[in-house]
Amino acid sequence: MLSVSPESVALREPWQQGFQQWHLRSKVPQIRYMAFLTAMLYFLYASIEYNMALNFSEIRLLVHGFIVPGTLLVISAMSYYPRLYTWMRLLLTIAPVCAMATNLWLNLGKPDFAFFAPEIYLCIFWTFTVSGLTLKYAISAASVNVLMALLMTVNRGVNAVFIDLHLLWITSAFLFGLLGGMVMEKAQKTLYLQQMDLAWSASRDSLTGLWNRAKMTVLFEQEKAQALDSPAPLSLIMLDIDHFKQVNDTFGHAAGDEVLIQFSRLLRDVTRPQDNVGRMGGEEFVILLPHTRLAEACNLARQLQAKIHACDFGTSGNVTASFGITQFRPAETFSDILERADRALYEAKKQGRDCLVSLT
């Protein structure tokens, strides 16, 4: 069973906004198929009504056989076009209200009202659990419907024997519908958070919270596409803490971990929001710098070096790092640019560490 830790939730930025977008998207297939199925059932409803030779049978045929299913089929078709989603939801919110109003208009005060009353209850329940509307919209539409049904039927045109049952069914439809809608939305929220949790742990280094190697590869591909499109420069810094083995050997593995965490925080603080900082493993880090030339990357590396010098890493005191810096060449892969940065870093280590080497 997956658990959603508050820490990772907090690190995931404003997830509510992400959830709303994800939730709306996840509802699209439901809206598509349920609108289609409901349209088919309305065709059936219209044909039964027509065969019963009721009052207003032409109007019933027009409403239940054309207007309502027509609207539902339009909603179903709109689900294929993302740019129409706002209109699709609006229509879907209005549709049950129109269906309810039409039912009351056609049947209220008639002796056979009770035959057609189930559509009222079903409509309320449908809005919450079947329609595909999110809870907020479903509550709005169902509340309007309940108010309308109550105002129009209580003391007006509904048989006194039937009224208590009528009220019971309206209340039940609303409460069961609301409960169903709430349970579904809660389940989807949990699912979304679990999905986010999995995505988070699959892309992050668990010790430092920086991007891991796999995610850095993906980010590189995205930045590369943008760099080629714009076109714009893209640079990379590879840095490695010097003599880190000694930190572990002298102060213990826990102190070494603390240095890695603090070092990562420093990298995040000094870099810009658009820069991607990753831990490639051990005490080796990579920073991908979009819209940055080699000379600018060297400046940033110098700033980092100064911050590292000035930082007190607790038990372990001061540490230094070596830097390999390079700029992206069109058509090269992540392995290619890493290999060049690694050569520069090796050279920096060879030159005595705590220094920068750049390779074009």
Ligand X SMILES: Nc1nc2c(ncn2[C@@H]2O[C@H](COP(=O)(O)OP(=O)(O)OP(=O)(O)O)[C@@H](O)[C@H]2O)c(=O)[nH]1
By annotation, the residues acting in catalysis are 283
Phi, psi of 321 (to 5 degrees): -140, 155
Residues within window 260-279 making contact with ligand X, judged by CB under 6 A: 260
Number of residues that bind ligand X (CB under 6 A): 16
A 10 A CB-CB count for 262 gives: 17
Give the SS3 label for residue 242. coil
Distance of CA 74 to the CA centre of its chain: 27
The yes or no reply on residue 282 touching ligand X (CB under 6 A) is yes
Shortest distance in whole angstroms from residue 215 CB to ligand X: 17
A 10 A CB-CB count for 328 gives: 25
Question: What are the Cα distances from residue 13, in Å, to 1, 10, 149, 195, 268?
Answer: 24, 6, 43, 15, 15
Nearest to 44 by CA among 65, 73, 74, 62: 65
Site track 68-97 with ligand X (rule: CB under 6 A), x = hit? ------------------------------
Residue written as token pair 């030159």: 351
Of the pair 177, 324, the CB lying nearest ligand X is at 324
Cα–Cα distance measured from residue 228 to residue 330, given in angstroms and rounded to the nearest whole number? 7
Shortest distance in whole angstroms from residue 320 CB to ligand X: 9
> Of the candidates 143, 248, 262, 315, which one interacts with ligand X according to CB under 6 A?
248
The yes or no reply on residue 349 touching ligand X (CB under 6 A) is yes
Give the SS3 label for residue 1. coil
The yes or no reply on residue 245 touching ligand X (CB under 6 A) is yes
- Helical H runs in the chain? 6-11, 15-51, 57-62, 68-78, 85-107, 113-116, 118-129, 135-153, 160-203, 213-229, 244-251, 253-270, 294-310, 334-350
Of the pair 236, 241, the CB lying nearest ligand X is at 241
Of the pair 189, 243, the CB lying nearest ligand X is at 243
The yes or no reply on residue 253 touching ligand X (CB under 6 A) is yes
Residues within window 179-208 making contact with ligand X, judged by CB under 6 A: 207
Segment interacting with ligand X, rule: CB under 6 A, options 2-10, 19-27, 192-200, 240-248: 240-248
Of the pair 12, 243, the CB lying nearest ligand X is at 243
Shortest distance in whole angstroms from residue 360 CB to ligand X: 24
> Of the candidates 49, 119, 223, 240, which one interacts with ligand X according to CB under 6 A?
240
Contacts with ligand X by CB under 6 A lie at 207, 240-245, 248, 253, 256-257, 260, 282-283, 349, 353
